[in-house]
Structure 1
């Protein structure tokens, strides 16, 4: 068995020319502003967080902003609050701060905070800096890296957004100590997704260390986050605005976003929707003759070992889920365009998927 014991901080660069930025992963990063103060270029800073995270970490971030004009704007917690109304409230907070074009927004929280803060930064004066300080595992390994920002509509998740890259990502894993186990495991779904898309060896590594990862082993956690971020950074560098390869990072998301929307953003966490969605994508791939049942079974076993759901919640109707999937951003010319696979580590984009086949995998087993 491979034993990982290195708990030192690490840094991974997302290479995008003049807009390149570091992703720092380690312990104690929020409390030590030397890790991120250099990324601030102006005197105005707005910290966007939520009412759950702010009491835990806001003070230490504000302490690192001494000498600057800083304020905070807090959301209620949850996907249901990633709305245009809150973007408007955040923009008003920038106006009250007197934020100029060299201002910076710091996103202190999970994916909802990061998405909304990044979108607000993209809108204020046609684009100002922002720094991601993710406090959930899911945000550390996925949403904080790559510059996707956005808000939800009642019709669907992330239907409005912009590509706006951060100046830096500061992933302090000490914040995961206060993360409920359900949310922590939801973040592991995005780690599994990265391996399922394009890294057979990493998938095997996750199988080998699943129990220790579920138990939050520090060294293994840093290694898992770094491997996932390194993979995503490479994809983003090659396809920043999702014209091709980057779409593969959405394995399971067409199904997962439909499940989240059907549950009104309260029944499932994003990572839980991705976990179920990945398995549905694997079953659809198997039905279409693209992959083997053994790969589907391996994926299901790994997800279950990480305490992730693998079944559609009761009460969600196949036809309703299909209708939501028709609004997915990846679709082209009115036909379903899904991310499927040919087995572990071999994802691909498949256009013109037959809706009858999708319905078949959405039906209760």
Structure 2
């Protein structure tokens, strides 16, 4: 990837467009304030006066649904709202069936669109619906959480969870457009915003050390909003778009985007996706700290790099230790069982994203089961 262009000061908050280049499946990510009010015009200019189903959750609907449907109506787009329960537990077969039936009942056609208005749960669920109803409808992402704006809305991964693990059932299905309205992030709780920030930090830790250093200096401005927030979101999207363009279906280095996720997904499974105990970004934060500590333990990276990562995540208020998961965790063997179900496991061999330092992550295959197990046992005791 190209090194990010860092500015000492960023003094404008214009909308930024980041292209995702995938041939005839290419699309734009538009990042800026008040994009929900512009959504109807942006969609109509690309897809015409189609009909849409707006999939959202109860919490997001209260804040943003009326503005979106008004914008769509102004552009001549008829919208059917479909409102589901908020939280990770809506990423399930039962909700998939409910939403699918609602789309069919609205008599939407293949040329019509599913609009995801919400965070990562809504985006993943809605994209899966769009990918399978009538063997593929149009799909538009309007992510309303920081995590969704910088990660889950970009790249076409969709799916639901099962009792066997997270995101194990789904399809790759690219949207036609992503509208990341930075203003809606002001309605997030501090906890939700921090959780999304974990994914922002991830991009610096993968292969953009200059970006991570910028975040260390400017994270409070990102939290405050304005130009720094727009810059951080755009830089994150550029990073992900570059990886997706090279490896759309995760046969190669797209797996780098899973830094922290192998450990994090196991923690989410262990807490039964209970968001009162752990949300996705918190699991990723702990997972990234564990990945750096495990890399140091395996003499791949320095202890100082692990301490630097942990210090930054702690500074913004994110958890970094297994002991910080409320309600406790199962034993190391149980966590290993969840890790063995991870999608990156191939023929039983463990694959982790490890690191040789800040911004020097790599795909480590055939990681010894015994080494991970002993590391987990030690980590549970600290």
TM-score by length of 1: 0.97
Which of 288, 307, 314 lines up with 2:298 in the alignment? 288
Aligned to 1:360: 374
Q: Distance in 2 between matches of 1:41 and 1:316?
A: 52
Q: Does 1:16 align with 2:27?
A: no
Q: Distance in 2 between matches of 1:163 and 1:315?
A: 32
Which of 33, 36, 39 lines up with 1:30 in the alignment? 36
Partner SS state of residue 53, structure 1:
helix
Q: Distance in 1 between matches of 2:304 and 2:112?
A: 52
Q: Distance in 2 between matches of 1:41 and 1:269?
A: 37
Aligned to 2:131: 122
Which of 323, 340, 350 lines up with 1:336 in the alignment? 350
* Structure 1 position 210, deviation (Å): 2.2
Aligned to 1:317: 331
Partner SS state of residue 171, structure 2:
strand
Within-5 A mapping of 1:150-161 = 150-161=159-170
Q: Distance in 2 between matches of 1:91 and 1:269?
A: 26
Aligned to 1:236: 244
* Structure 1 position 304, deviation (Å): 0.7
* Structure 1 position 336, deviation (Å): 0.8
Structure 1 gaps, min length 5: none
State the number of aligned residues: 364
* Structure 1 position 42, deviation (Å): 5.8
Question: Contact 1:37–1:64 at 8 Å: present in 2 too?
Answer: no
Moved more, 315-324 or 37-46: 37-46
Partner SS state of residue 258, structure 1:
helix
Q: Does 1:259 align with 2:276?
A: no
TM-score by length of 2: 0.93
Question: Contact 1:283–1:361 at 8 Å: present in 2 too?
Answer: no
* Structure 1 position 164, deviation (Å): 0.2
Q: Distance in 1 between matches of 2:267 and 2:290?
A: 11
Q: Does 1:188 align with 2:197?
A: yes
Partner SS state of residue 31, structure 1:
helix
Partner SS state of residue 246, structure 1:
helix
- C-alpha deviations, 1:144-180, integer Å up to 9, x for none? 0000000000110000011000000000011111100
Q: Distance in 1 between matches of 2:350 and 2:269?
A: 18
Aligned to 2:3: none
Q: Distance in 2 between matches of 1:6 and 1:68?
A: 32
Aligned to 2:56: 49
Question: Contact 1:48–1:107 at 8 Å: present in 2 too?
Answer: yes
Within-5 A mapping of 1:95-174 = 95-174=104-183
Question: Contact 1:189–1:303 at 8 Å: present in 2 too?
Answer: yes
Q: Distance in 1 between matches of 2:313 and 2:62?
A: 32
* Structure 1 position 318, deviation (Å): 1.4
Question: Contact 2:271–2:329 at 8 Å: present in 1 too?
Answer: no
Within-5 A mapping of 1:215-226 = 216-226=224-234
Partner SS state of residue 6, structure 1:
coil
Question: Contact 1:303–1:310 at 8 Å: present in 2 too?
Answer: yes
* Structure 1 position 52, deviation (Å): 0.2
Question: Contact 2:41–2:72 at 8 Å: present in 1 too?
Answer: no
* Structure 1 position 126, deviation (Å): 0.8
Partner SS state of residue 89, structure 2:
helix
Over the residues paired in the alignment, what is the CA RMSD in angstroms? 1.2
Aligned to 2:4: none
Runs of 4+ in 1 over 4 A off after TM superposition: none
Question: Contact 2:44–2:77 at 8 Å: present in 1 too?
Answer: no
- C-alpha deviations, 1:288-320, integer Å up to 9, x for none? 111011110110011011110011123332111
CA change 1:303–1:45 in 2 (3 A) is same
Partner SS state of residue 36, structure 2:
coil
